[in-house]
Amino acid sequence: MKATSRNAPLEKFLGQLPENYNLAERELVERAYRVAEGAHHDQMRHSGKPYITHCLEVAGILAEMRAPSEVIAAGLLHDTVEDTGITLQDLRTDFGTTVANLVDGVTKLTHLPRVSRGDQHSDDNKDGAKNLKQAEINAKSRKQDLKSETLRKTFLAMGDDVRVVLIKLADRLHNMRTLNHMPEDKRKRIAKETLDIFAPLANRLGIWQMKWELEDLGFRYLNPEKYNEINEQLHHEKQPERETQIEAIKDHLIKLLAKNNINNVEISGRPKHIYSIYKKMLKKGKPFDLVRDVRAVRIIVADVPACYSALGVIHTTWRPIPGEFDDYIAAPKDNFYQSLHTAVIYDDKRPLEVQIRTHEMHQNAEYGIAAHWQYKEGGHGKSNKAFEERIVWLRNMMDWRSEVSDANEFVEGMKTDVFQDRVYVFTPRGDIIDLSAGSTPIDFAYHVHTDIGHRCRGARVNGKLVPLYQELKTGDQVEILTAKRGGPSRDWLNSNLGLVKTQRARSKIKVWFKKQEDEQNLAQGRASLERELQRLGITEINFEAMARDMNFKTPDELFIALGCGDLSISRVIRRFSEKAENTDILSIGTPTTKITSTGAIEVVGLKGLLSQIAKCCNPAPGDQIVGYVTRGRGATIHRQDCPNILRTKDKERLLQVDWGKVEHTFPVPIKVKAYDRQGLMVDISTLLDSENVNIADVNVNVNRTLAVINLVVEIKDLSQLSRILTRIENLPNVLEAHRTKPG
């Protein structure tokens, strides 16, 4: 009986393996289980279960994807090199090079202290505790945060063998399924990392089932209140009446399609994805009951013509909702996802979302890159070619990384370029160019060809001249206007101007400037810094101290870095602002005090309670205060020594309160010179409002066509002042904007 009980998990797991496995493949998986079980025999999870259960669950997730036997064997063994006495050489000897290399790849991803593992390994071993403590010390000394480093190493591993990342995703998915056994602080950290890195990674690989579950689990632990709220509403939606509605819609659709000679159709109610509902609620500013994808169906048909035929029948039967149609068959997503998406007003006058796809598209959508395991397995045909295309695409993302010298810059570029939505624009010849959302004509130019980017001087979008900072939208046709010779402008690297958004273009611009003579870069770098300091009203500066603070040996090295684009002016100003005393740099009078919490006063134990300052004692930030509940008016805030409070008999109506976060701002005079035009002052006011900058005083003088505007604005620091001066100077008709001396 004991032997049977011990083998029960293995027998159950072996029953989950793909039915096309031969005897040798099943034997490989079973041997991997035996080795993993022996290696982890004395290790437990935080849940109290044997550690081998985690290995089985990871392998089970891979089996659901119909992974090759070597991948499942690596899934069973993925923690042995990291946590036990087994070596890579042992694995090579016992299981071959492929399995050993896959385990090695997963191990490299988990070398980061704690963050990248996200597991529940329970080990009271003293050496382990010592190593963990040392790892925490090392983590604090890193120049870039661990989450970004995880992201970078994940992509590097993917460039070598994407199967490594799939094993890591399966590992993370099971850890998320059992995350409730971890302490709350670790749950939130691991959940945030899952939403920031692993769920987007599954999305980029097109593994939608895994992406959805990772997102929902991450959301569950990061924002449990909102998760439970939406989950309860979804549960309410699943009452018998709701299910009856969906069944009626499915029957109606099958009969309608059959009537139009569209047969062999499968229709299902589309799964409810809590995190996507939450994001749509935020994006559209709508409550739960108005989010369209809560009621949705998925139609699977035989082939592509049937997809469009079904779409035509649906659109002629019910009124389509404007802006809700997407054709991902003609223009697949960059992770090769294909489907038709639409939303219509159904017979009951309520929205219904519909997805239409073929069986092959559905398989790809569910398992993405994992749907083509034939890669490296000797497979042939269309699916193998599709996988090859994905591998080429993944490697292309890595092509330009060697041009980036700063590792943190590489990571931030990957976050911007890879993990956000995409836009699809057209060249004048009709070729489709895939760019990250927010890309500008300059980004487009560098994507087409480096030389075109260097010589870019203007752009036409859909036949109209546009500014180079304009963000491109899907469907735009872009034509770049070039000069015969010349290079990029240093202004393109100014993040305040928003002319270049992708790391790829930014890197190529920097490479161009690095090729210029150091002497020229030195002169231009010094001139640009002195000009900015003069504009900010800073006349006395120790460049040697500034250079040392920015980790340069001499001021000349600092100037050269500025001149070639390795260092930005905004970064120098930000650092200078942090080091200097703001009161000495900015203040021309008494600092202005703001309360920046959500309601000015923080009420202990309550949120969103209306509050007002008592006129009898007029408390100011820094005073000891107390709240007094007034019926119908929220809480009135008094000083604790206010006579009215000391005399009150209704002690139960007193609340413990505290001041919100206090933020100091400083009044700074600036002067703007511009050619006068209608709406000039409105544009300046709108710009300052977008920066949350208050205008304390304004004076406008117009002499013929020249307008001189003197403002006093309330600024937090030099970095903010530099940014708003740059933005004002780039408004139409503005000649210059600079800080003036007080008085």
For residue 681, give the nearest of 725, 731, 726 by alpha carbon: 731
CB atoms within 10 A of CB 103: 28
Residue 150 sits at the vertex; the CA angle it makes with 552 and 95, to the nearest 5 degrees, is: 130
Q: Tokens representing 341?
A: 């998406």
Burial of 687 (0-12, 13-18, 19+ CB in 10 A): middle
**Alpha-carbon gap, residue 239 to 221, rounded angstroms:** 26
Residue 547 near residue 579, CB atoms below 8 Å: no
How far is CA 186 from each of CA 189, 193, 220, 226, rounded to the nearest angstrom?
Answer: 5, 11, 14, 19
Contacts of 720 (CB under 8 A, 6+ apart): 691, 693
**Alpha-carbon gap, residue 391 to 158, rounded angstroms:** 9
For residue 701, give the nearest of 679, 674, 678 by alpha carbon: 674
Question: Following CA atoms 325, 326, 330, 336 in sequence, which dihedral angle do they give, to the nearest 10 degrees?
Answer: -160
DSSP state of 289: G
- Enzyme catalytic residues: 82-83
* Long-range interactions of 69-72: CB distance < 8 A, separation 24+: 69/17, 69/21, 69/25, 69/26, 69/28, 69/29, 70/28, 70/95, 70/96, 70/98, 70/99, 70/102, 71/102, 71/163, 71/166, 71/167, 71/373, 72/17, 72/29, 72/32
| Amino acid symbol at 54 | H
Residue 658 near residue 671, CB atoms below 8 Å: no
**Alpha-carbon gap, residue 378 to 375, rounded angstroms:** 7
How far is CA 489 from each of CA 455, 480, 500, rounded to the nearest angstrom?
Answer: 10, 16, 11
Angle, helix 718-729 to helix 569-579, in steps of 10 degrees = 150
**Alpha-carbon gap, residue 45 to 79, rounded angstroms:** 13
Q: Tokens representing 415?
A: 């976050």
**Alpha-carbon gap, residue 474 to 340, rounded angstroms:** 17
Q: Tokens representing 176?
A: 């998320």
Contacts of 486 (CB under 8 A, 6+ apart): 454, 455, 457
Question: Within its chain, how far is the Cα of 119 from the centroid?
Answer: 23
Residue 57 near residue 120, CB atoms below 8 Å: no
Contacts of 131 (CB under 8 A, 6+ apart): none
Residue 146 near residue 139, CB atoms below 8 Å: yes
Would you say how long the chain is, in residues?
A: 743
For residue 109, give the nearest of 166, 47, 192 by alpha carbon: 166
Residue 38 near residue 23, CB atoms below 8 Å: no
Question: Following CA atoms 614, 620, 624, 630 in sequence, which dihedral angle do they give, to the nearest 10 degrees?
Answer: 20
Pairing of strands 734-739, 266-269: unpaired
R_g (Cα) of the chain, nearest Å: 31
Pairing of strands 296-301, 351-358: parallel
**Alpha-carbon gap, residue 622 to 660, rounded angstroms:** 10
